Amino acid sequence: MDNCSRMYYETPIGWLEVVGDEKGVEVVRFMDEEEEHQPVGESEAVAQCITQLDEYFKGSRQTFTIPLIQSSGTVFQQQVWKALETIPYGEIVSYLDIAQKIGNEKAVRAIGGANSRNPIAIIVPCHRVIGKSGKLVGYEGGLWRKEYLLKLEGYLS
């Protein structure tokens, strides 16, 4: 990544690290409180991402328009992450729904694994995927954050 930029944004549910360059954003991840916050450089895409995340948390943004860089992950993981991007704000799908969408109904467990490795939290909305039973399961940022995000989006009350 050329001219890498790393910035931080404090949300109601913890700090996010946002990494990217002038071409787009490559990482949005929740940080542990004890991790050091050392901004590096500044790119328009990363600054724009933080602005859009702020709007999202204030309830005035439902879709993100920043360019994403999907350079990590396997071909399968990238396929899953692309499918996640199609889940509308305020809606949920099951792991089976994603498996059907990518044409591989037997890949439900692997989809869970790909979700847990999603490098672009919130914007690639893996928090909108729930278990077949309708239960909130498996969110890398913690189920309490998943619940918060789904409440913010109006899915849970």
Q: Tokens 């899953």 — which residue? A: 80
- In whole angstroms, give the CA distance from residue 141 to residue 148: 11
What is the DSSP code (8-state) at residue 35? Answer: S
Distance from chain centroid for Cα 143: 14
Q: Tokens 């919130």 — which residue? A: 122
Instruction: List, in sequence order, every residue forming a beta bridge with 40; answer none if it has no partner.
Output: 6
36 to 9, 28, 30, 32, 88: CA distances (angstroms): 13, 16, 13, 9, 33
Out of 126, 130, 150, 152, pick the active-site residue.
126
13 to 31, 56, 108, 114, 141: CA distances (angstroms): 10, 13, 28, 23, 10
Instruction: Confirm whether 126 is a catalytic residue.
Output: yes
Residues annotated as catalytic are: 126
